[in-house]
A = this chain, B = another copy of it.
Amino acid sequence: MNITTVFSPALYPYCKRSEQYICVVVDILRATTTMCTAVEFGAELIPVSSVEEAREYKRKGFLVAGERIERTLDFADFGNSALLFRTDEIKGKTIVHTTTNGTRAIALAQDYKPKQTVIGAFSNINALKDFLVKAGCDVEILLSGWQNTFCLEDTLFAGALSTMLFNEGFTSKDDSTFAAVDLWNAAKEDILQYLEKASHIHRLRKAHFDDVFQYTFTLNTCRCVPVLRNGKIIKA
């Protein structure tokens, strides 16, 4: 089983693709961390790429969560912080979700017809590792980045997950995966301290969205693996 890491949606067309693979979509700050929490607390999500689609769903009576560039959409019921979804009130609810980077990466991944698309975050990393080991096929880790640029927090996650998968017999021939592992090794003793240099940390702090950092970088607060099925993100 082979691991490939893709640092940005803009690089996705160029990655060497297996016949059959599971795509792990990652947007640590904040979309995929939020998705794991929402699914853990019993919601299902409809990820959409555009604000217009989200607005259309809202008109039809759906709950909507979403943001663009650190601003909650004015018509949304929820923002894009995982902390908002740690409530049993969302149990059994369907929530439409759109974000700057993460939900677009999910849509992009579908263009290449993965066997499955799953959602990864530090909060569900152990459950995700178990899921991927059990599936036993190649893995592509697609990082959402920030508006198509490389970002550190997604890369650290790819390094952490790859390290766990290497320990389970996975391999890689991919420079991005090896780089992610080495960056994870540099960061793992104190992730938040390491990420002080990350640009998106500063962007979110400026927008007063830094309350989610501690939760985001705590491993294994969720036991679920969200998967995309028929356009919805549900518990595997």
A236 within 8 A of B: no
A130 close to chain B: CB less than 8 A: no
Smallest distance from the beta carbon of A140 to chain B beta carbons, Å? 13
- Copies of this chain, how many? 2
For residues 1 through 46 of chain A, which have their beta carbon under 8 Å from a beta carbon of chain B?
7-8, 10-11, 13-16
Interface hub of A148, A149, A174 (most chain B Cβ within 10 A): A149
- Report A33 CB to chain B, min CB distance, Å: 18
Whether A152 sits at the interface, judged by CB under 8 Å, is yes
| Segment of A60-68, A118-126, A177-185 in the binding face | A177-185
Instruction: Indicate if the CB atoms of B174 and A199 lie closer than 8 Å.
Output: yes
Instruction: Say yes or no: is A218 at the interface (Cβ < 8 Å to chain B).
Output: no
A198 close to chain B: CB less than 8 A: yes
Evaluate contact between B179 and A179: CB separation under 8 angstroms: yes
CB 8 Å contact bits of A169-206 with B (1 = contact, 0 = none) = 00001111011001101100000000001111010000
The count of chain A contact residues (Cβ–Cβ below 8 Å) is: 30
Main secondary structure of the interface of A (DSSP, over half): helix
A147 part of interface (Cβ distance < 8 Å): yes
CB <8 Å contact, A150 and B11: yes
Is A160 engaged at the interface, CB distance under 8 Å to the other chain?
A: no
Within 8 A of B (CB), among A138-158: 147-152, 155
Most interface-central of A151, A152, A182 (chain B CB within 10 A): A182
Contact partners of A14 in chain B: CB under 8 A: 8, 10, 147-149
Measured CB to CB, the nearest residue on chain B to A174 is: B199
**When the two chains form the complex, which single residue of B10, B15, B155 contacts A179, counting CB atoms closer than 8 Å?**
B155
Nearest CB in chain B to that of A15: its residue: B149
CB-CB under 8 A from A185, the residues of chain B are 186
| One of B148, B186, B200 near A11 (C-beta < 8 A) | B148
- Chain A: residues with CB nearer than 8 A to chain B? 7-8, 10-11, 13-16, 147-152, 155, 173-176, 178-179, 182-183, 185-186, 197-200, 202
Task: Give the top 6 A-B pairs by smallest Cβ distance, nearest first.
Answer: A14-B148, A152-B175, A150-B176, A178-B197, A182-B186, A151-B175
* 7 A–B contacts, CB within 8 A, in A order: A7-B7, A8-B11, A10-B11, A175-B197, A178-B198, A179-B179, A182-B182
